[in-house]
């Protein structure tokens, strides 16, 4: 192999073009077993972010089931999820354009089931005995906030008729019917809480006439939450509960709750931003598979429900998987969405010896020599608190930096803020590392995957703790010689975009910033935010309704623009209902008046998160050009 050429960091030629990164941005959504096949939803950037439905058999034959203009996507809570249910050969889904329930059967195109004005549907379950679907519904109307409820959708007689089952709580999720059809389990919670604060598990009698009885509280609430209730083949109800501060698998047997599987320092719970999320699967033969997060990395436990004891799956699964989502029982074992450090997410069978890929096989993989593998790092901020992150070194088989030089770095801030970064292949990060940038993806205070205490470190501290963690990440890179201290930029979207703006306003750790649909005015966010998150801000900022103005003003980047000196670029979707364009426009206007270098890009047809390939390409091209200029590269 010929010697590498020397060139300034950040300027290396790379085969990972913006177009390739866009093609590799396909997102796999819900996974469902359907007989000898698996169905899943798949977002297509080249089709404007449309979500199609794919199907693959046990033999590896894949086909697309949902054609344009249909798109399987729910907008409940604005973030959606729970858009798909497979029952034998029939698939039920929420169509993006009208938010109504449609059905797909072999040999037929989509047929609309419901016609309920201003109502969205998601998180379906099948009630075979009563020939209906159960679902979560969200009704929008004249009231300031939408009305959430559990409903039934008739599949015979007056097909498509919607009947209300439960209402009166702020939110509902996960309606699940027992195998004998006599009990309905579901989750509910109220403002100001988010589901990972206090989602409570209830069970109600399911009557012969289709109505349900008075719900009985089983677990959750009072400072803990329940996630993913599922009825087992033994008639017991299984669920994840973070009773100890770490999510474990529990079982309700009608008269008591018992723990089935838990691991100290490992978390089975998830922050349910979207409906239909899963972290464990139950097999009809009495086995289970549970995907714990340990220090942010997945580990699989499998075992027998009867024994109540689990064994860790084969080591090779743990070593190569960076993320494992949506586990399901399939054939004689389990399947899931699996991402690795060198490949995009795929549908895979989980076996005792490893991972067997079923599809799709064109996930945008790149030559291994160009892949920078994420290295999990733990560092400390000045007060001694530990912070976690994933470091990606500059990687290119044909180029290296000048002798004695350190690379520029991009500190990434994930959204949420209650979310997490993982070590799976992300082409946007590889876009930069293959050009000579270091990338540090920070799991700052508030991130999931590290237990409740770490997640709650952000309560009352948003705009402070997250900023301190990211600034500590920059210092860590500089101290370790992993980055040029004068050429470290910060980038993030949504809540991450807010952290970017606050970091530029309250620290001198970063030479430039890139905010994607970030929050600049907390007052405006509280005024315009949707119902799902309308109480979230008070927890994050330590305020209460009626007593919040001073704190909101003090932690709004819009009021701190006089302290921003570093160049800034902002990207905004014009259809964003969560962080409207006004948020970006106001801070751009203020910075321009001060003469600060600021660049602004708006995109028609884009909401909260960019889905179109054209937009993704434009953002990467503009961001790279901005960083090269702002960091004085080449």
Structure tokens at 595: 């003469």
Digit-coded pLDDT (tens) for 359-416? 886 655 678 899 999 999 999 999 999 999 999 999 999 999 999 999 999 999 999 9
E strand or H helix at 310, and its extent? strand 309-312
- Alpha carbon dihedral 607, 612, 618, 622, in 10-degree steps, equals 40
Q: Are 371 and 341 in contact (CB under 8 A)?
A: yes
Digit-coded pLDDT (tens) for 153-182? 999 999 999 999 999 999 999 999 999 999
Residue 453 has pLDDT above 70, yes or no: yes
Digit-coded pLDDT (tens) for 603-613? 999 999 898 99
Residue 101 has pLDDT above 60, yes or no: yes
Q: What order do you get walking across the sheet with 111-112 strand by strand?
A: 84-87, 90-94, 101-104, 111-112
Looking at 178-296, which runs of residues are DSSP E strands? 183-189, 200-205, 216-220, 226-231, 237-241, 248-252, 257-261, 280-282, 287-294
Q: Which SS3 state, helix, strand or coil, does residue 455 take?
A: helix
Beta carbons within 8 Å of 550's beta carbon, 6+ residues apart = none
Look at the alpha carbons of 579, 582, 585, 589 in this order and tell me if their dihedral is positive or negative.
Answer: negative
Cα separation, 34 vs 613, whole angstroms:
31
Beta carbons within 8 Å of 179's beta carbon, 6+ residues apart = 231, 233, 235
State the DSSP code for 224: B
E strand or H helix at 465, and its extent? helix 465-479
Q: What band does 48 get if pLDDT is binned at 50, 70 and 90?
A: confident
Return the percentage of the chain with pLDDT > 90, whole number: 81
Closest CA to 165 of 182, 179, 148, 181: 148
E strand or H helix at 528, and its extent? helix 522-528
Q: Average pLDDT of 448-454?
A: 94
Q: How far is CA 92 from CA 40, 135, 178, 406, in A?
A: 12, 11, 20, 53
> Tokens 């770095």 identify what position?
409
Digit-coded pLDDT (tens) for 58-98? 777 789 999 999 999 999 999 999 999 999 999 999 999 99
Q: So what's the pLDDT on residue 196?
A: 96
Q: So what's the pLDDT on residue 27?
A: 85
Statement: the pTM of the whole predicted model exceeds 0.75:
yes
Q: So what's the pLDDT on residue 368?
A: 87
Q: Are 433 and 372 in contact (CB under 8 A)?
A: yes
Q: So what's the pLDDT on residue 49?
A: 86
Residue 503 has pLDDT above 90, yes or no: yes
Q: Average pLDDT of 33-48?
A: 90
Can you list the alpha helix ranges (DSSP code H) found in 105-259? 195-198
* 3-state helix vs strand vs coil in the chain, percent to 5: 20, 35, 45
Average pLDDT, the chain: 93
Q: Which residue has the higher pLDDT, 327 or 363?
A: 327
Cα separation, 463 vs 557, whole angstroms:
9
Residue 593 has pLDDT above 80, yes or no: yes
Residue 192 has pLDDT above 80, yes or no: yes
Beta carbons within 8 Å of 209's beta carbon, 6+ residues apart = none
Q: Across the chain, which distance is largest between two alpha carbons, in Å?
A: 78
Q: Is cis: bond before 594, omega within 30 of 0?
A: no
Q: What band does 318 get if pLDDT is binned at 50, 70 and 90?
A: low
Cα separation, 500 vs 15, whole angstroms:
29
Q: So what's the pLDDT on residue 355?
A: 80
Cα separation, 327 vs 429, whole angstroms:
26
Q: What band does 270 get if pLDDT is binned at 50, 70 and 90?
A: very high
Q: Average pLDDT of 513-517?
A: 97
Closest CA to 322 of 351, 353, 298: 298
Q: So what's the pLDDT on residue 2?
A: 62
> Tokens 């321009």 identify what position?
592
């Amino acid at each position: 192999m010929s010697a590498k050429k020397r060139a300034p960091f950040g300027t290396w030629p790379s085969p990972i073009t913006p177009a390739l990164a866009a093609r590799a941005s396909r997102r796999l959504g819900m996974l469902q077993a359907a007989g000898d096949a698996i169905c899943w939803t798949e977002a297509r950037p080249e089709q404007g972010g449309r979500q199609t439905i794919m199907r693959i058999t046990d033999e590896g034959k894949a086909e697309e089931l949902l054609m344009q203009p249909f798109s399987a996507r729910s907008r409940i809570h604005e973030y959606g999820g729970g858009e798909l249910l497979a029952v034998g050969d029939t698939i039920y889904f929420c169509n993006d354009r009208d938010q109504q329930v449609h059905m797909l059967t072999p040999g037929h195109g989509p047929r609309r089931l419901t016609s309920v004005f201003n109502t969205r549907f998601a998180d379906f379950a099948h009630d075979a005995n009563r020939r209906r679907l159960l679902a979560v519904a969200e009704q929008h109307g004249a009231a300031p906030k939408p009305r959430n409820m559990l409903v039934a959708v008739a599949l015979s007689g007056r097909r498509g008729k919607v009947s209300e089952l439960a209402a009166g709580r702020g939110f509902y999720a996960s309606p699940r019917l027992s195998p004998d059809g006599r009990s309905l389990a579901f989750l509910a919670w109220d403002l100001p809480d988010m589901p990972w604060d206090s989602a409570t598990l209830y069970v109600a009698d399911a009557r012969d006439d289709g109505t349900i009885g008075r719900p009985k509280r089983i677990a959750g609430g009072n400072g803990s939450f329940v996630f993913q209730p599922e009825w087992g083949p033994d008639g017991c109800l299984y669920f994840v509960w973070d009773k100890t501060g770490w999510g474990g698998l529990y079982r309700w047997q009608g008269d008591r709750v018992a723990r089935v599987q838990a691991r100290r320092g490992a978390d089975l719970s998830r922050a349910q931003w979207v409906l239909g999320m899963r972290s464990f699967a139950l097999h009809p033969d009495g086995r289970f598979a549970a995907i714990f997060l340990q220090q942010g990395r997945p580990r699989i436990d499998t075992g027998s429900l009867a024994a109540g004891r689990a064994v860790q799956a084969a080591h090779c699964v743990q070593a190569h998987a960076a993320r494992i989502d949506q586990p399901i029982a399939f054939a004689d074992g389990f399947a899931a969405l699996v991402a690795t450090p060198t490949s995009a997410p795929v549908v895979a069978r989980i076996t005792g010896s490893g991972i067997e890929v079923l599809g799709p096989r064109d996930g945008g993989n790149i030559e291994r020599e160009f892949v920078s593998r994420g290295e999990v790092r733990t560092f400390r901020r000045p007060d001694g608190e530990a912070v976690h992150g994933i470091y990606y070194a500059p990687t290119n088989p044909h180029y290296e930096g000048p002798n004695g030089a350190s690379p520029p770095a991009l500190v990434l801030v994930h959204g949420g803020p209650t979310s997490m970064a993982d070590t799976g292949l992300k082409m946007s990060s590889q876009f930069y590392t293959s050009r000579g940038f270091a990338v540090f993806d920070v799991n700052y205070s508030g991130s999931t995957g590290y237990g409740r205490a770490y997640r709650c470190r952000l309560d009352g501290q948003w705009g402070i703790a997250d900023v301190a963690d990211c600034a500590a990440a920059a210092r860590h890179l500089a101290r370790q010689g992993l980055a040029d201290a004068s050429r470290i930029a910060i980038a993030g979207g949504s809540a991450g975009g807010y952290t970017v703006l606050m970091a530029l306003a309250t620290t001198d750790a970063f030479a430039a910033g890139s905010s994607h649909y970030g929050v600049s005015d907390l007052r405006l966010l509280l005024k315009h935010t949707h119902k799902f998150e309308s109480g979230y801000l008070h927890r994050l900022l330590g305020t209460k309704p009626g007593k919040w103005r001073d704190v909101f003003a003090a932690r709004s980047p819009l009021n701190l623009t006089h302290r921003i000196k570093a160049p800034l670029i902002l990207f905004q979707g014009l259809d964003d209902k969560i962080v409207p364009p006004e948020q970006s426009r106001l801070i751009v206007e203020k910075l321009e008046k001060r003469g600060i270098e600021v660049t602004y890009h708006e995109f028609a047809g884009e909401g909260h998160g960019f889905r179109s390939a054209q937009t993704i390409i434009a953002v990467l091209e503009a961001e790279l050009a901005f960083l090269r200029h702002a960091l004085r590269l080449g």
